[in-house]
C-alpha cells in the first residue's frame, strides 16, 4: 500500500481544479452502508476533515464479495473515479472501481449511529476521535497549536523548550508530582535519588523562560505542565498544556496587551479556519458559539483592577458560595459573574493583593498590590494568568523569606537580578481552557486526547 494523501488533501485538489478525477485512491472507516440490488452506498470518513466521501460500489467490482463485512467501523481502501454527484447532499462522490476490506469491525463496535453521551465517549477515549464531534475538537486543537506558534513567530519571539523535570516549584503552591527512582520502602534518602535531590514534574516553564527572556528578549514556551491539585472540576486537569511567553523590557500594560491579542488571534483563527467544524460545535454543544466568538473578536477587552472588581462583586448583591472581600482570592463564580453578567465580555483583572500571589510578581509602589493580571472569559473564567516580574534583587530576596522559600534553591533565578537585571513580564495561557472557549465544550476532559484527572489515568 502506497502512502496515501488524506481525503481532505485529495478533495482540496479536486475542488481547486473543479473537474472529475480518474483513479483516485482513498481509505478510511465506514460510517454507514446502504445496499441496493446491484450496488452499495458507503459513507467513508478518514478523519482528515469533517465531511464523508460517498462511495458508490457496484456489485461487479473486485473486492465487493466482502461487502457484508464492510459494516460501520470497518476500514476499507477504495480506488475509483471522483465525479460530480448526481444526488443531493454532496458535491462529489466516488464511483469505485475496486474496494478492499482492511479491517472488519464486529457487531459490538461501540460507535453506532445513535448519539452517545460525552461521559460514555470518555470511557472509550481510544475510539472517540472517530466521532464527528471529537474529530472536530482534535482538528481544532491541532489548528490552534499551529496558530500559537505562528502568532509568536510572526512577532519574532523565540521558542524555548523548558524542562519537564524540575527541582523548583514555580508557583510555590507545592502541588507537584514527584519524580523518583527510589524504592517504594522509603528507606533511602533524597541524596540517593536519581538527581541527588528531590525532583518533580514542572507546574510551569516560567522560571526557566525568564532566564531566556533575560538573554533573548522575547521568548515563549508551549508544552505540558502538571499539577497535583485535587480539584475535580470541569476546568482542571492534572496534565495540561500551557503557552508561556516572557518578554524583556516589558511592563504589566504590555503584558496585558499581548495576552489579549493572543486570545483574540486564536478566536479569529477558530472562526476563519474551521471548515465546518464550528457548525458541529454549534449543533451539538453550544448554539450561540459563533456569535459569541465574533463578539469577542471584534471588541476590546474590559480592564479593571482587583480592588474595583471586589467593589463590583460586593455591590452586586448576589449571594455567592464563597465570600468576597478585599484580600481573598477571586473564585471561579466571582470571575464568571464579572465577565458573563457584569461586563458581558472578556475582562482583564490586574493589581492583586501581594498576600495571595506568588513570590515572583513585582510589588507596586502602593506596597500592597503586585502587578498580577488574569484574563477572564465568559463560560470559563480564568484563561490566562500572568504578571510583571520582580526585577529588584533585594525585594526578590525578601519575597523568598516571606514565602518560606529556600534562597539557595532559587539562587540561579536571583542571579538574573544580579547581572543586568531588566523589567520583564509574561503570562501563562491554559491551552485547554482556550480550546473549551472556542469549541464550547464544557468539560476540560473533552478537549484532551487522554485526560489525566484525580483518580483517572486510563489509556
Interface ranges with Mg ion (CB under 5 A): 385
Q: Phi-psi bin for 194: left (phi > 0), alpha (psi -120 to 50), beta?
A: alpha
- To ligand 4AD, the closest distance from the beta carbon of 285 in angstroms equals 19
Q: Which of 46, 93, 169, 171 forms a contact with ligand 4AD (CB under 6 A)? A: 171
Q: Binding of ligand 4AD at residue 384 (CB under 6 A)? A: yes
DSSP secondary structure code for residue 316 in this structure: T
Is residue 448 near ligand 4AD by the rule CB under 6 A? no
With contacts defined by CB under 6 A, name the span among 12-20, 96-104, 180-188, 426-434 that binds ligand 4AD. 426-434
- Residue 286 parent element (H or E): none
Binding residue count for ligand 4AD, defined by CB under 6 A: 24
Return the DSSP state at 58. Answer: E
The least distance separating ligand 4AD from the CB of residue 420, rounded to whole angstroms, comes to: 21
- Helices 206-216, 411-418: inter-axial angle, 10-degree rounding: 30
Whole-angstrom distance, CA of residue 172 vs CA of residue 178: 15
User: By beta-carbon distance, which residue lies closest to Mg ion?
Assistant: 385
Task: Find where cell 517504594 sits.
Answer: 184
> What character string, x for contact with ligand 4AD (CB under 6 A) and - otherwise, covers 101-120?
--------------------
Q: Which of 206, 274, 348, 399 touches ligand 4AD (CB under 6 A)?
A: 206
Q: Write down the least CB distance from residue 382 to Mg ion, Å.
A: 6
Closest CB 178 distance from ligand 4AD, rounded Å: 17
Restricting to residues 319-348, name those near ligand 4AD by CB under 6 A.
none
**By CB under 6 A, residue 381 contacts ligand 4AD:** no
Query: In this structure, what C-alpha cell is assigned to residue 376?
Result: 477572564
Long-range contacts of 269-276 (CB under 8 A, 24+ apart): 269/143, 269/144, 269/147, 270/140, 270/143, 270/144, 270/438, 270/439, 271/297, 273/143, 273/147, 274/136, 274/140, 274/143, 275/49, 275/50, 276/49, 276/50, 276/51
Residue 334, binding choice from Mg ion, ligand 4AD, none, Cβ under 5 to 8 Å by partner class: none
Asked if 31 and 45 touch (Cβ cutoff 8 Å), the reply is: yes
CA atoms within 13 A of residue 321's CA, in its CB half-sphere: 5
Q: Does 423 bind ligand 4AD (CB under 6 A)?
A: no
Q: Which is nearer to Mg ion, 139 or 336 (CB)?
A: 336
Sheet holding 178-179, edge to edge: 165-166, 199-201, 178-179
User: Strand 158-159 and strand 218-226: pairing?
Assistant: parallel
Provide, rounded to whole angstroms, the least separation between the CB of residue 399 and ligand 4AD: 15
381's torsion region: left (phi>0), alpha (psi -120 to 50) or beta? left
240 lies in the site for ligand 4AD, by CB under 6 A? yes
Distance in Å, CB of 262 to ligand 4AD, minimum: 12
- Shortest separation between residue 45's beta carbon and ligand 4AD, angstroms: 30
Residues making contact with ligand 4AD (CB under 6 A): 170-171, 204, 206, 227, 229, 236-237, 240, 242, 244, 382-387, 426-428, 430, 432-433, 444
Amino acid at each position: 500500500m502506497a502512502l496515501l494523501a488524506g481525503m481532505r488533501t485529495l478533495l482540496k485538489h479536486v475542488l481547486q481544479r473543479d473537474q472529475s478525477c480518474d483513479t483516485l485512491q482513498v481509505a478510511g472507516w465506514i460510517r454507514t452502508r446502504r445496499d441496493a440490488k446491484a450496488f452499495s452506498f458507503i459513507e467513508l470518513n478518514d478523519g482528515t476533515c469533517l465531511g464523508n466521501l460517498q462511495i458508490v460500489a457496484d456489485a461487479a467490482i473486485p473486492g465487493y464479495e466482502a461487502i457484508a463485512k464492510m459494516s460501520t467501523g470497518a476500514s476499507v481502501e477504495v480506488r475509483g473515479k471522483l465525479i460530480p454527484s448526481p444526488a443531493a447532499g454532496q458535491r462529489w462522490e466516488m464511483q469505485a472501481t475496486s474496494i478492499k476490506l482492511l479491517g472488519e469491525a464486529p457487531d459490538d463496535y461501540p460507535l453506532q449511529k445513535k448519539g452517545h453521551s460525552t461521559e460514555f465517549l470518555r470511557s472509550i477515549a481510544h475510539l472517540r476521535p472517530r466521532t464527528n464531534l471529537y474529530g472536530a475538537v482534535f482538528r481544532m486543537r491541532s489548528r490552534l497549536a499551529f496558530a500559537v506558534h505562528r502568532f509568536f513567530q510572526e512577532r519574532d519571539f523565540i521558542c524555548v523548550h523548558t524542562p519537564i523535570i524540575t527541582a523548583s516549584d514555580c508557583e510555590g503552591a507545592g502541588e507537584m508530582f514527584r519524580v523518583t527512582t527510589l524504592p517504594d520502602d522509603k528507606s533511602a534518602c533524597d541524596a540517593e535519588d536519581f538527581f541527588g535531590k528531590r525532583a518533580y514534574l514542572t507546574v510551569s516553564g516560567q522560571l526557566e523562560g525568564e532566564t531566556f527572556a533575560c538573554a533573548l528578549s522575547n521568548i515563549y514556551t508551549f508544552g505540558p505542565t502538571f499539577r497535583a491539585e485535587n480539584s475535580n472540576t470541569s476546568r482542571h486537569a492534572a496534565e495540561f498544556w500551557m503557552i508561556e511567553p516572557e518578554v524583556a523590557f516589558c511592563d504589566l500594560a504590555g503584558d496585558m496587551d499581548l495576552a489579549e491579542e493572543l486570545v483574540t488571534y486564536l478566536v479569529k483563527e477558530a472562526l476563519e479556519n474551521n471548515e465546518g467544524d464550528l457548525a458541529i460545535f454549534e449543533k451539538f454543544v453550544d448554539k450561540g458559539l459563533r456569535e459569541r466568538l465574533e463578539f469577542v473578536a471584534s471588541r476590546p477587552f474590559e480592564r479593571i483592577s482587583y480592588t474595583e472588581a471586589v467593589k463590583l462583586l460586593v455591590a452586586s448583591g448576589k449571594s455567592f458560595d464563597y465570600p468576597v472581600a478585599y484580600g481573598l482570592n477571586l473564585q471561579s463564580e466571582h470571575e464568571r459573574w464579572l465577565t458573563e453578567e457584569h461586563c458581558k465580555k472578556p475582562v482583564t483583572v490586574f493589581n492583586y493583593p501581594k498576600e495571595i500571589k506568588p513570590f515572583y510578581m513585582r510589588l507596586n509602589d502602593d506596597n500592597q498590590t503586585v502587578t498580577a493580571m488574569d484574563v477572564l472569559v465568559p463560560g470559563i473564567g480564568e484563561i490566562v494568568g500572568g504578571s510583571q516580574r520582580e526585577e529588584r534583587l533585594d525585594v526578590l530576596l525578601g519575597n523568598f523569606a516571606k514565602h518560606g522559600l529556600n534562597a539557595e534553591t532559587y539562587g540561579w533565578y536571583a542571579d538574573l537580578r544580579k547581572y543586568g537585571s531588566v523589567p520583564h513580564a509574561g503570562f501563562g495561557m491554559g491551552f485547554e481552557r482556550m480550546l473549551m472557549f472556542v469549541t464550547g465544550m464544557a468539560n476540560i476532559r473533552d478537549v484532551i486526547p487522554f485526560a489525566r484527572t484525580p483518580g483517572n489515568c486510563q489509556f
